[in-house]
Amino acid sequence: MTHFRDLTLYSYGVAESSQAGACNIGWLSADVAFPMASSEPQFVDRLWRYCKVSVGQTRGLHECEICRSREANVARRNADELLLGSAEIRVISGQGQLYAAPNLIYHYVVSHNYSPPPEFVLAVLEGPCPPEEGYYHLLTKMGIDWSNTLVPERGSKSFRFVKTPEGVVKVDQSGDSSKPSR
Ligand SMILES: [Zn+2]
């Protein structure tokens, strides 16, 4: 995955002008050290809610470069499961600052103790958060397309990632160990 330093200007993926002022968050790479600390449960809870809303859905699936585990793409919280690694999230602070992060950020925080910048943590804690209506209103106002984050198929113990003709990532139980492609 492409690496961007935290809080640099977002320029990846969708190039909508309304997102010109967005800040990069959580574009981690195995080669670059990142700040680590354990995160507050309330922050992780809300981050999970943001991860349910995908922006910039891509066809391929990024693996976590830090652990290189395919299991990293299937995230679980309470009774929920999400397929992470093929889309981004948007967080909007109370002051209207937009942040763009890969949705693998949830895995980075939970499994690798990634500690995002305090201003992002504050935005997650205090900004409009899905499923609040105000969050979707802001996305619409900013011209940002979103979709519901993909969910792994129920009960799949071994899985792989395939591209359908429509370009949607699906998970099946074939047990094929081929690596996901972009
Ligand atoms: Zn990982």
* Per-residue confidence (pLDDT) for residue 175, from 0 to 100: 42
DSSP string covering 82-145, please? EE-SS-EEEEE-TT--EEEEETTHHHHHHHH-B---HHHHHHHHHS--TTSHHHHHHHHHTT--
* Per-residue confidence (pLDDT) for residue 21, from 0 to 100: 85
* Per-residue confidence (pLDDT) for residue 178, from 0 to 100: 46
Q: Distance, CA 54 to ligand 1 centroid (Å)?
A: 19
- Write the pLDDT tens digit of every residue in 17-49: 556 689 999 999 999 999 999 999 999 999 999
Q: Distance, CA 103 to ligand 1 centroid (Å)?
A: 12
Q: Distance, CA 169 to ligand 1 centroid (Å)?
A: 20
DSSP summary character for residue 166: T
Q: Distance, CA 76 to ligand 1 centroid (Å)?
A: 14
* Per-residue confidence (pLDDT) for residue 153, from 0 to 100: 73
* Per-residue confidence (pLDDT) for residue 64, from 0 to 100: 96
Q: Distance, CA 106 to ligand 1 centroid (Å)?
A: 10
* 148, 78 Cβ separation under 8 angstroms: no
For the chain, which ranges sit under pLDDT 50? 156, 173-179, 181-182
